[in-house]
A and B are shown apart, each in its own frame.
Chain A
Amino acid sequence: MIAILGNQYSTALKRKDFLYLTGMGMGAAMLQGFPVMGSPVPHDTVLQPVDAAIKKRMADVALNAAKSKGATYADVRIGRYLNQSVSTRENRVQNIASAESYGMGVRVLANGCWGFAATDKLDTDSIAKTAVQAVAIAKENSRLLNEPVQLAPQKGYGEVSWKTPIEKNAFEIPVKDKVDLLLAANNVALKAGATYISNNLFMVNEQKYFASTEGSYIDQDIHRLWPTFTLTKTDAKTGGFETRNSLSAPVGMGFEYLIPDEKEKIQGIFPIYKKRYDMLEDVRIGTAQLDEKLKAKPVEPGKYDLILDPTNLFLTIHESVGHPTELDRVLGYEANFAGTSFLTLDKWESKKFKFGSKLVNIVGDKTQPGSLGAVGYDDEGVKCGNWDIIKDGVLVNYQATRDQAHILGLPASQGCCYAQTWSDVQFQRMPNVNLQPGKAPLKVAEMIKNTEKGLYMFGRNSYSIDQQRYNFQFSSQLCYEIRNGQITGMVKGATYQANTQEFWNSCSAICDESDFRMGGSFFDGKGQPSQVSAVSHGCSTTKFDKVNVINTLRKLG
């Protein structure tokens, strides 16, 4: 599930921590909302990753200590996690914060049971002690074990490395340039008539090193970036208000994402963005759309053909396809928290479970450049790739880690293991889960022309789905009504409610490759204690026939 904090930021941060932190200013609180707490990074300093040879020596200390205490397998993750955030509202900067966290997590198998311990003291003694503690925990808990963990075979890669293909390291861009961009955007909004704007930029750099008793020493440098704003316009006469969030995406890119490029825009009923984002333009258009939202008529509840822009559909894919195909949920490992899944193993074994219409092809992907899920190797040292999950509408696969692969009869893990920091144990997390574009040429304009009674939605808004992923409800930032092939204007209160399988079987058209875009989340939460991960979902604009739409407008006393 995607957890929530404040208006639009979602994190796994517990509310009690949040209340404590609000006293320190929202910026600091937001930074704490990142999965990292640590020491500061000077604002303009680029931290070069620690020399791999030093990390290899530290890793070997832990691996040897674990083996000497009887571990049959061990892996070590040495991570330096850098975060920076710039938080603004209207004409002022609320906070600029930077943090660094450096430490090591050791995971072992002993008596067939997992054990884990983590430390931020990286001298030889502390490292060895941590490895010994992980083995002790595994042995203590093995009395509560039913069957020993089985790991899929994994060859050691020796000493290898991988780096996110960025053009401009966001940590190298002066803070002033970031502040100037956000305040310029805020100025555009206020001049255009917005009552309020909050505008934030988040940057992440994971410098992580993985080593295992199987002979891998993997050094990776991962970058992520997320610009996001919320515009608000109040109506003093009625006491009402409307908001409009940015239509940007969190990306696995550097600062280049924030340099507008006309070639990366799609000119639809208003411009929308592919691999480059134009914040000033989005703010200007978004503010004008607030007036339309305030004047919009309430939606008439009923069945509509939905045309969903990727800025809206990505989250529906995440919740209704991404989560139910997580193998740990299918097996029951998340039963006490995130939930289980309706996509039980018997449906997969039947090889004919019709998840969606024939048009629906969904892949698990860990390689797409610019996506949040792209890495060279996962957090248990498996080289990443991609695979079919739904093929021509039929469920054909799940998302698995090394200790789950045998359940599916897979020869190797699919590389879906991730931990939010060095201090958290790695477990099964979602890869990018993408809906493949339509094979035949199809543009949005044609899709609209072919729609008699429809709604055309942009942007993520309210989202909720049950713990087995059958029943969901989503709304949007912008909803346009379509009558007889024409857009007739904006409506409000429109929320679509559906059953996952019925919804995907009602998929009747998918735009072609030229419309393909990625949305995503920085803060997908799962596990106890809860951890966040970042994941993208790519798709083209897609049409779903006769979906139930309700009107959620109410009145208070």
Chain B
Amino acid sequence: MAILTEEQARALLTKALSYSKAEQCEVNLSGGDSSNIRYARNSVSTSGGISRNSLVVSSAFGKKLGTATINEFDDASLEKAVRRSEELAQLAPENPEFMPFLGPQNYGAPTPTFVQSTADITPKQRADMVQQSLQVAKDSKLTAAGFLESSAGFSAIMNSKGLFAYNTATDINFSVTMRTADGKGSGYATKAFNDVGKMDTLAFSKVAARKASGSVNTKALEPGKYTVILEPAAGIVLLEQLYGGLDARSADEGRSFLSKAGGKTRWGEKLVDERVNIYSDPANPELPTSRWNGDGRVQEKISWIEKGVVKNLFYSRYWAQKKGVKATPGPDGIIMEGGTQSLEDLVKGTEKGILVTRLWYIRPVDPQTLLYTGLTRDGTFYIENGQIKFPVKNFRFNESPVIMLNNLEALGKTERTVSGESGQNALIPPMKIRDFTFSSLSDAV
């Protein structure tokens, strides 16, 4: 199904609501088309085109809520979904945490999340973009594995209290891993944009190729504490554990790294280095995101960590009401302020250190200290006297993003990057960190 216009979405949602007999009813509608090409061993492997839509009906009687989902939108199906959500609601026990749906909100001007040229990409364009990447691999005698996906979609919400919101968005994401024929070197690049015009698969593939060729014949360094420069794609996977963990309820309930003795929290306290500023802004031109979230709350520009201090926590509507505070929703697009130095400048200013392209298999170890483990991957290099000297064997680390941001040396220029773990995009600077804890070596390339 093509993207529904705002008026088409409004008409469909109005019709769905017209079947409602519940005290309150809210309907979320989303859909779109996505197409991808996957390649490996310098050859296309699988690919496909998928068109999917979904309509979620939430019906409530008192504090009893039922939810039903459907992917067919004829009148009978819409009515069936509404009836079934009502049936489930009548069966559900009362939930004391149920919050009445929101009334109309003022969302402000739409953000530039949708780019027509991205929605218009043809199968030939995608194949050509992949061909450029494959050509880099063949020219450099490397083996490429990669993935290119473009999508265009819409989302809308309407409820019986008069709330309505609508948004469209496009996305093109690309990632590639180049490996040497002997399997001793590997390099990686990943990028995502709303605008296909910014996606240069040739240039990004060359970065991966350079790292692959440069990472053969590694030397093994002793595990221990090192100064590291984390490229944005490496830093994001640890930072997202920090800004994704700013949940007020778990902090208040005593089960978060933000919890303190006596039932207190670290809200309002200095948590990390004072040069750390993390905020979200739906209107940021490099990373535009929706003006509203899944339950219809307004997404505004909001500061999360300011000069190292925990400035805001995010809340469910229930918890905010219980605490008598504003129900700030969790962020979509995160921006971490950086400096003016390029990655190369950061390397030049480093006496001894390790440059990290990517961190992988990030998993929690201790939620009380936000300690995470994972490994370096696809391009890890030793720096001495401002120069990259040689590639090094990959390490396992055990580190907390909180400790890491207290050991901050310098920040470079912020850029849009993609988390290889969550798929989430953010604007993140390269970070120079001292005393980063590598706990063992890995033979993996």
Interface, chain A (partner B; CB < 8 A): 1, 4, 14-16, 19-25, 27-28, 31-32, 37-43, 92-99, 101, 103, 113-120, 133-134, 136-137, 140-147, 175-176, 179, 195-196, 232, 234-241, 243, 331-337, 339-340, 342, 344, 423-425, 427, 462-471, 473, 475, 493, 495, 497, 499, 527-529, 548, 550, 552-557
Cβ of A337 and Cβ of B147 under 8 Å apart? yes
* Nearest CB in chain B: distance from A373 CB, A: 22
Contact A98 B68, beta carbon cutoff 8 Å: yes
Please report the C-alpha to C-alpha distance between residue A189 and residue B229 in the assembled complex, in whole angstroms: 46
Q: Assuming the A-B contacts A196-B253, A470-B444, are A425 and B48 also in contact, with contact meaning beta carbons closer than 8 angstroms in the complex?
A: yes
B261 CB–A CB distance under 8 Å: yes
- Contact check: which of B68, B360, B370, B402 meets A40 at CB < 8 Å? B68
User: What is the bound-complex CA distance between A465 and B295, given in angstroms?
Assistant: 37
- Residues in B with CB closer than 8 Å to A113 are 44
CB distance from A37 to the nearest CB of B (A): 5
Shortest beta-carbon distance, B443 to chain A, in Å? 4
Contact between B443 and A342 (Cβ–Cβ < 8 Å)?
yes
* B362 contacts A by Cβ under 8 Å: yes
With A39-B69, A234-B254 as known contacts, state yes or no: A240 contacts B361, CB within 8 Å. no
CB of B294 within 8 A of CB of A146, answer: no
* Interface pair A15/B80, CB less than 8 Å apart: no
A146 and B71 form a contact (CB under 8 A)? no
Complexed CA–CA distance, A115 and B47 (Å): 6
Encoded as 1 (CB less than 8 Å from any A CB) or 0, chain B from 92 to 106 comes to: 111111000000000
For the complex, what is the distance from the CA of A95 to the CA of B188, rounded to whole Å?
A: 41
CA A113 – CA B43 in complex, angstroms? 10
Cβ-defined contact, A39 with B39, below 8 A? no
* Partner of A462 from B68, B146, B257, B363 at Cβ < 8 Å: B363
Tell me if B150 is interfacial: C-beta within 8 Å of chain A.
no
Extra contacts, 18 of them, besides A92-B96, A333-B145, A471-B396 (Cβ < 8 A), are A20-B293, A25-B67, A27-B67, A40-B70, A40-B81, A92-B93, A97-B67, A141-B37, A141-B127, A143-B127, A144-B43, A196-B255, A332-B40, A427-B46, A466-B361, A469-B444, A529-B36, A556-B370
Over the window 68-88 of chain B, the binary record of Cβ atoms lying under 8 Å from chain A Cβ atoms (1 yes, 0 no) is 111110000100110011011
* Contact among A39, A120, A468, A495 with B443 in the assembled complex (CB-CB below 8 Å): A468
Taking a contact as CB atoms under 8 Å apart, the answer to whether B47 and A137 are in contact is: yes
Whether A14 lies near B58 (C-beta < 8 A) is no
User: What 0/1 pattern do residues 17 to 45 of B give for CB contact below 8 A with A?
Assistant: 00000000000100000101111111111
User: Which of A196, A337, A528 sits near B36, CB closer than 8 Å?
Assistant: A528
Cβ A554 vs Cβ B373 within 8 A: no
* B66 adjacent to A96 (CB under 8 Å): yes
The answer on a CB contact under 8 Å between A466 and B36 is: no
Sorted nearest first, the 10 A-B pairs with minimum C-beta distance are A23-B294, A23-B295, A40-B68, A15-B422, A234-B254, A335-B145, A471-B442, A468-B444, A39-B70, A466-B444
Q: Which of B175-183, B341-349, B409-417 contacts A (4 or more CB under 8 A)?
A: B175-183
B271: nearest chain-A partner, CB-CB: A557
A41-B67 Cα distance, complex, nearest whole Å? 11
B422–A470 contact, CB under 8 A? Answer: no
Centre residue among A144, A146, A243 by max chain B CB count within 10 A: A144
Is B43 touching A146 in the complex (CB atoms < 8 A)? yes
Task: Check A92–B44 contact: CB distance below 8 A.
Answer: no
- Complex contact B368–A241 (CB within 8 A): yes
Q: What's the Cα separation between A493 and B373 when bound, in Å?
A: 13
Complex: how many Å from CA A115 to CA B400? 44
Chain B residues within an 8 Å CB radius of A499: 443
How distant is the Cα of A20 from the Cα of B156 in the complex, in angstroms?
A: 12
CA of A341 to CA of B87, assembled, Å: 50
Report chain A residues within 8 Å CB of B66.
96
Query: What are the residues of chain A within 8 A of B302 when measuring CB–CB?
Result: none
Contacts of A179 in B (CB 8 A): 93
Contact residue among A14, A39, A117, A238 (Cβ-Cβ distance under 8 Å from B49): A117
B91 touches A240 (CB 8 A): no
26 contacts between A and B (CB under 8 A): A20-B294, A23-B295, A24-B294, A27-B67, A40-B81, A43-B87, A43-B88, A116-B46, A133-B49, A140-B123, A143-B127, A144-B37, A236-B263, A239-B259, A243-B367, A331-B41, A332-B145, A335-B40, A425-B46, A462-B363, A466-B360, A466-B442, A467-B444, A473-B398, A528-B149, A556-B369
Contacts of A25 in B (CB 8 A): 58, 65, 67
Q: Hey, which chain B residues are within 8 Å of A133, CB to CB? A: 49
Assess the A141–B254 pair: CB atoms within 8 A: no
B296 within 8 A of A: yes
**A-contact 0/1 string along B260-303, CB 8 Å cutoff:** 11111000000100000000000000000000011111000000
Q: Are B67 and A28 in contact (CB under 8 A)?
A: yes
Enumerate chain A residues within 8 angstroms of B244, measured Cβ to Cβ: 15
Interface core residue of A27, A175, A335 (most chain B CB under 10 Å)? A335
Chain A residues contacting B371 (CB-CB under 8 Å) are: 552, 554
Question: Do A239 and B177 contact each other (CB < 8 Å), given the known contacts A22-B294, A427-B46, A466-B375?
Answer: no
The smallest beta-carbon distance between A109 and chain B, in angstroms, is: 12
| Identity of the chain B residue whose Cβ is nearest the Cβ of A465 in the assembled complex | B361
Which of B58, B92, B377 lies at the interface centre, i.e. has the most chain A CB atoms within 10 A of its CB? B92
Q: Is the CB of B72 within 8 A of A462?
A: no
**Contact between A528 and B375 (Cβ–Cβ < 8 Å)?**
no
Tell whether, in the assembled complex, residue A23 and residue B293 are in contact, meaning their CB atoms are under 8 Å apart.
yes
Any A CB within 8 A of the CB of B328: no
Q: How far apart sit A253 and B297, CA to CA, in the bound complex (Å)?
A: 41
B337 adjacent to chain A (CB < 8 Å): no
Q: Does B168 contact A (CB under 8 A)?
A: no
Contact call A94/B443, Cβ cutoff below 8 A: no
Pairwise interchain contact A554-B400, C-beta atoms closer than 8 A:
yes
Instruction: Report chain B residues within 8 Å CB of A115.
Output: 47-48
Q: Is the CB of B179 within 8 A of A332?
A: yes
State the CA gap A366–B96 with chains docked (Å). 44
A239 near B422: Cβ-Cβ < 8 Å: no
- With both beta carbons as reference points, the residue of chain A lying nearest to B102 in the complex is identified as A23
Complex Cα distance A499/B440, Å? 10
Write the chain B residue with the least CB distance to A319. B361
Cβ of A244 to closest chain B Cβ, rounded Å: 13
Q: Are A39 and B77 in contact (CB under 8 A)?
A: yes
Query: Smallest CB–CB gap between B180 and chain A, Å?
Result: 12
Q: Is B14 an interface residue (CB 8 A)?
A: no
Is B240 part of the binding interface, using a Cβ–Cβ cutoff of 8 Å? Answer: yes
B177 touches A554 (CB 8 A): no
Residue of A nearest to B176 (CB): A336
> Given A19-B330, A93-B95, A332-B41, A471–B87 Cβ distance below 8 Å?
no
Q: Is B143 an interface residue (CB 8 A)?
A: yes
Contact between B56 and A467, CB atoms less than 8 A apart: no
Contacts A23-B297, A140-B123 given: A37-B71 contact, CB under 8 Å? yes
CB-CB under 8 A from A196, the residues of chain B are 253, 255
Q: Specify which chain B residues have a CB less than 8 angstroms from the CB of A92 in the assembled complex.
A: 93-97
* Residue from A120, A144, A334 in contact with B71 in the complex, judged by beta carbons closer than 8 Å: A120
B218 to chain A, nearest CB (A): 13
Q: In the complex, are the beta carbons of B373 and A23 less than 8 A apart? A: no
User: Is the pair A120, B72 in contact by a Cβ cutoff of 8 Å?
Assistant: yes
Write out the residue numbers on chain B whose beta carbons fall within 8 Å of the beta carbon of A243.
255, 367
Asked whether, in the complex, the Cβ of B58 is within 8 Å of the Cβ of A24, the reply is: yes
Q: From residue B438, how far is it (CB to closest CB) to chain A in Å?
A: 11
Min distance, Cβ B149 to any Cβ of chain A, angstroms: 7
Identify the closest chain A residue to B297 (Cβ): A23
Interface pair B69/A24, CB less than 8 Å apart: no
Interchain CB contact under 8 A, B91 and A176 = yes
B52 within 8 A of A: yes
State how many angstroms separate the Cβ of A318 from the closest Cβ of chain B: 13
Task: Say yes or no: A466 contacts B396, CB within 8 Å.
Answer: yes
Query: Interface digits, B151-190 against A, CB 8 Å rule (1 contact, 0 not)?
Result: 0000100000000000000000001110100010010100
CA distance A179 to B64 in the complex (A): 14
**Residues of chain B contacted by A340 (CB below 8 angstroms):** 179, 183
A332 cross-chain contacts in B, Cβ below 8 A: 40-41, 143, 145, 179
B175 to A, closest residue via Cβ:
A336
Docked Cα-Cα span, A120 to B52, in Å, equals 8
B312 in the interface, Cβ–Cβ < 8 Å? no
